[in-house]
Amino acid sequence: MAGEIGVAGAARIAVIGGGPGGLYAAALLKRLDPGREITVWERNAPDDTFGFGVVLSDETLGGIEHADRVYEALRRDFVRWDDIDIVHRGRTLTSGGHGFAALGRRRLLEILHERCASLGVRLRFREPAPPAAELAASYDLVIAADGVHSDTRESHREAFRPQLTTHRCRYIWLAADFALDAFRFEIAETEHGVVQLHGYPYAGDASTVIVEMREEVWRAAGLDRCDERASSEWCARVFANALGGRPLRSNKSSWIAFRTVVNERWSHGRIVLLGDAAHTAHFSIGSGTKLAVEDALALAACLEEQGPLPEALAAYEAERRPVVASTQRAARASLTWFEDLATYAGQPPHQFAFNLLTRSRRVTHDNLRLRDGEFVASVAKEAGIPSGTPPMFTPFRLGGLTLRNRVVVSPMDMYSADGDGTPGDFHLVHLGARALGGAGLVMTEMVCVSPEGRITPGCTGLYAPSHETAWRRITDFVHTTAPGTALGVQLGHSGRKGSTRLMWDGIDQPLPEGNWPLLAPSALPYRPGVNQVPHALTEPELATVREQFVRAAESAARAGFDLLELHCAHGYLLSGFLSPLTNQRTDAYGGDLTARLRFPLEVFDAVRAVWPAGRPMTVRISATDWADGGTTAEDAVAIAAAFAAHGADAIDVSTGQVVPDERPEFGRSYQTPFADRIRNTVGVPVIAVGAISSWDDVNSLVLAGRADLCALARPHLYDPHWTLHAAAEQGYSGPGAPWPPPYQAGSRTPPTGRTDAPKPRLTLR
């Protein structure tokens, strides 16, 4: 074989795996070039398949319709419906306008078999494929579509570098011999724990039924000891009402723990991964077959459009990877929601249903309102939200403080103080503008409790009389000019992350000169060899730091702040005590989580004692370190519970920035599941943060009961009047977002230039 071939030279193609993705790729590639020799190996018989029904989205169907006439054959067999039924505690709530299409998996394979055969694709059933490396020696391209347990991927682990994550629920694929009326989610609260049913019709006389539960529930019910028949009978008994007493049938069905597959690379030489071999996404968003078919479409298009094979395979991965990553984030949010389903079981019926429908963050408040406005209105009515009021503009009470809406301007370090930590005109304008912009609560940046507690020379402080005077000027401006806006102060100490340059001069880089000594729980530098080694605090020094927080809190109260937040996140001093990666003490302040909590709780108690009783106090935490061996989501729940028990009015739930080698799972609203879990497990109000970028996100999180307040940072840098503009865009003009009198003339969206072209005066047919 030649060392490098053009796509036109890819005359011989081998496909490992005869699932929908592999078959569709073969059909498309053969149709694009009838001269190609394409062979598909499938170890099973033609009619031997797992599962029952397959759901495809309108987007996927549109791609098939434009690419190949197999769509016509599929269309004749589709079962379509619009409704989702949610059954919980004896009530069925229905939401419409969702638009699903499904057909039997066996029928889908039959259609694809017929299409491949008609095009001249060679199908080799009941025959395991030769190893991919062996095929690559004689074929121009090897497409590995051999599923979640891909032998190809495992044989070339060093090239693809897969990451496999097994999750906490067990599920089983079953079928019922009648058609459900809608996509059905039913929740059963058994003596062993919560069990859920996911069901949908895929033919006029058949439905897929997936039963899922946490691993511990599965074992407690004895299902780990049941065979296929006994498992089917158990599920039929639990969901007898949904099934009308009918039985469930199986098809080599077994209890499975879902596995998420991520690969660092999707191709290796002439070998390329497709579908579940490359990536998986939880079945609760109906994505497996969809992703595989879309992969096939993209691979065929890139092979047609690009030059040499390496370029085509790189283009395929570049096109698909962001789409798959987005789908996997949504799927992860969905599967986590179902793993934690028991925490939501006590929600009011309509809120529970709304929470379920918006669990993946792909369906949102506004999107669902367009699909089924009556349903969303019923959710709002149950929550006591006045008609015409977006959820984000409802008031919320924290301690003795009532916030007029749910929007928080998140703390953002500005690095713009005078050299001695005094806030100046910049801070007056920065915070004043955002207070005038309509948010219910505006937070300062982290205000440092001592000179050595600063991150940079540009950080503000509250450790000198001049600081208190300067802050009082800002609070007076806000309270006078933007009445109804609350102003909060975040107190913190940089710990081992201090004595660094301004962010734009080199984030986390030490000062070229004038460095001050650092303090931390343990003598561990933030970046070994880059940042200085901090001094491990002694017990007398801990008392000094605690007193610095107390004095700063007393000063903040005199300065007129409405709320105080204790910064225990992002690797700063108090956060450093909480994480096992940064706290390696062997005294009473290190060791297990209870010991690591000791000093942050001592500081909290001391500050709470001097902070005015009527003013709320919150705590910001990092709910995960995004690093092996660090703080986990389970730890975060315990940390939040401890602070709540000591009197915290709310927990501000952020993540990460504790260690430099973190691996965050970035994405829209990516940190909100941690806040959600704390709120619905501990029962304490939470502030959610983390790439919340739209008012639709805020409405969705609040109405679903996943967050009480939403803190936004970058959107408020882009638009200081973000909250007022959100009100205008939603047609809201109530008390939750009053425009300052000087700005009222701008409370309607300005007209734009004409963008529509003149209509033709004459049309010839």
On whether both 330 and 419 belong to a single domain, the answer is: no
On whether both 421 and 528 belong to a single domain, the answer is: yes
On whether both 557 and 652 belong to a single domain, the answer is: yes
Residue 755 clears pLDDT 60, i.e. is over it: no
On whether both 39 and 188 belong to a single domain, the answer is: yes
Q: Tell me the CA distances in angstroms from 765 to 347, 518, 529, 753, one per residue in order.
A: 58, 80, 76, 32
Q: Tell me the CA distances in angstroms from 744 to 646, 724, 733, 740, 748, one per residue in order.
A: 43, 10, 11, 6, 8
Model confidence over 78-96: pLDDT tens digits?
888 899 999 999 999 999 9
Closest CA to 247 of 264, 266, 232: 232
On whether both 289 and 436 belong to a single domain, the answer is: no
Mean pLDDT, residues 393-411 taken together: 97
Residue 746 clears pLDDT 90, i.e. is over it: no
Q: pLDDT category, 733, cuts 50, 70, 90?
A: very high
CB–CB of 627/660 below 8 Å?
A: no
CB–CB of 13/29 below 8 Å?
A: yes
Model confidence over 508-528: pLDDT tens digits?
899 999 899 999 999 999 999
Selected catalytic residue, list 171, 415, 526, 572: 572
Higher pLDDT, 13 or 10: 13
On whether both 335 and 435 belong to a single domain, the answer is: no
Model confidence over 561-620: pLDDT tens digits?
999 999 999 999 999 999 999 999 999 999 999 999 999 999 999 999 999 999 999 999
Model confidence over 468-521: pLDDT tens digits?
999 999 999 999 999 999 999 999 999 999 999 998 988 889 999 989 999 999
Alpha helix ranges (H) inside 564-689? 573-578, 593-596, 598-610, 633-645, 672-682
Please give the tally of structural domains in the chain.
2
**How many CA atoms, within 13 angstroms, populate the side-chain half-sphere of residue 463?**
22
Residue 71 pLDDT: 67
Contacts with 590 (C-beta within 8 Å, 6 or more apart), sequence order: 521, 522, 583, 584, 596
CA pair distance 87, 6, nearest whole angstrom: 55
Mean pLDDT, residues 678-692 taken together: 95
On whether both 552 and 680 belong to a single domain, the answer is: yes
Residue 3 pLDDT: 45
Q: Is residue 373 part of a domain?
A: no
Q: Is residue 387 part of a domain?
A: no
Helix-then-strand count for the chain, H and E = 27, 28
Q: Would you give the DSSP letter of residue 308?
A: B
Q: Buried (b) or exposed (e) across 254-267, using 16+ Cβ within 10 A?
A: ebbebebbebebbb
On whether both 322 and 410 belong to a single domain, the answer is: no
Model confidence over 102-141: pLDDT tens digits?
888 889 999 999 999 999 999 999 999 999 999 999 999 9
Q: At what angle do helices 722-729 and 695-704 cross, to 10 degrees?
A: 80
Which one-letter amino acid corresponds to residue 628? D
Closest CA to 38 of 146, 151, 147, 139: 139
Q: Is residue 746 part of a domain?
A: no
User: How many residues in total does the chain contain?
Assistant: 765
> Three-state secondary structure along 713-754?
CHHHHHCCCHHHHHHHHCCCCCCCCCCCHHHHHHCCCCCCCC
Which of 44-53, 428-437, 664-673, 704-713 comes out lowest in average pLDDT? 44-53
Residue 8 pLDDT: 45
- Which residue's entry shows tokens 């505690």? 89
CATH number where 150 lies: 3.50.50.60
Q: Is residue 658 part of a domain?
A: yes
Residue 764 pLDDT: 41
Tokens of 252: 């080599």
CATH number where 675 lies: 3.20.20.70
Mean pLDDT, residues 210-233 taken together: 97
Q: Is residue 617 part of a domain?
A: yes
Mean of per-residue pLDDT scores for the chain: 92
CB–CB of 268/160 below 8 Å?
A: yes
CB–CB of 469/514 below 8 Å?
A: no
CB–CB of 171/340 below 8 Å?
A: no
On whether both 271 and 138 belong to a single domain, the answer is: yes
Q: pLDDT category, 62, cuts 50, 70, 90?
A: low
Tell me the three state secondary structure of residue 67: helix
Q: At what angle do helices 695-704 and 349-357 cross, to 10 degrees?
A: 140
Q: Is residue 186 part of a domain?
A: yes
Q: Would you give the DSSP letter of residue 311?
A: H
Give pTM, 2 decimals. 0.90
Residue 306 pLDDT: 86
CB–CB of 185/85 below 8 Å?
A: yes
Task: Report the percentage of the chain scoring pLDDT > 70.
Answer: 95
Residue 74 pLDDT: 77
How many CB atoms are closer than 10 A to CB 694?
A: 17
CB–CB of 582/622 below 8 Å?
A: no
Across 215-315, the runs of DSSP E, i.e. the strands, are 256-263, 267-268, 271-273
> Three-state secondary structure along 157-219?
HHHHCEEEEEEEEEEEEEEECCCCCCEEEEEEEECCEEEEEEEEEEECCEEEEEEEEEHHHHH
Q: Is residue 137 part of a domain?
A: yes
Q: pLDDT category, 763, cuts 50, 70, 90?
A: very low
CA pair distance 661, 333, nearest whole angstrom: 24
Q: pLDDT category, 242, cuts 50, 70, 90?
A: very high
On whether both 22 and 115 belong to a single domain, the answer is: yes
Residue 754 clears pLDDT 70, i.e. is over it: no
Q: Known catalytic residue: 139? A: no
Q: Is residue 369 part of a domain?
A: no
On whether both 427 and 286 belong to a single domain, the answer is: no
Domain boundaries, position 118: 12-341
| Ramachandran sector of residue 691 (left: φ over 0; alpha: ψ -120 to 50; beta: rest) | left
Alpha helix ranges (H) inside 483-590? 503-506, 539-559, 573-578
Residue 66 pLDDT: 66
Residue 665 pLDDT: 84
Q: pLDDT category, 4, cuts 50, 70, 90?
A: very low
- Which residue's entry shows tokens 């999180």? 701
Residue 594 pLDDT: 97
On whether both 107 and 173 belong to a single domain, the answer is: yes
Residue 742 clears pLDDT 50, i.e. is over it: yes
First CA to last CA across the chain, in angstroms?
A: 56
Residue 61 clears pLDDT 70, i.e. is over it: no
